[in-house]
Structure 1
Amino acid sequence: MPIVKIGPKHQVTIPTQFFKTLDLRPGDLVEAQLRDEAIVLIPQKLIPKDQAWFWTKEWQDKEKEADEAIARGELSGPFETADELVRRLRKQ
């Protein structure tokens, strides 16, 4: 395991192999946790507030379900008109 030095402003350098493996970029955020006597850094991605709904477990479960249905070829359409789409949806 690499050894890193703490700088005068409490800074540490993340070893290159970790930086690349985690696909980190300068300016990325990490959460710092204290576990027993270890400091653990966990990469974080911020999600804009107006898009947070997309990343809820419920929404992601439905996204996965839709992706699986598409992979199985369970598709409808394309439709020529909105009325044609509505008629198809009412049949289901």
Structure 2
Amino acid sequence: MPTRVASVLTGLTLALCGTALAAPAAHADVSACINQVERELRGGEAPEYVRTACSGALSGNHDQCVSGLTKGGVTNGTAVSACRVALN
């Protein structure tokens, strides 16, 4: 019985650690997208539309991300590369 409990606890620990390790990767992609746009804006924190567009890129909708950024005034070249970074 103690061996079975130890096995279950080990499995749960590994599953939770795997989830915790995977979560920051997605966040890092959005951050990289936002940082790229902030470099073009030169200063200050990115407006909410930048965060929304970059977050939307994670769902795989590159065109929507680019459209959201360019509508806010980000150049097309920066928008395309920032959204590409978010997808990686």
Higher helix share: 2
TM-score, normalised to structure 2's length?
0.21
Higher Rg? 1
Higher strand share: 1
TM-score, normalised to structure 1's length?
0.21
Relative contact order, higher structure (CA 8 A, sep 6+): 2
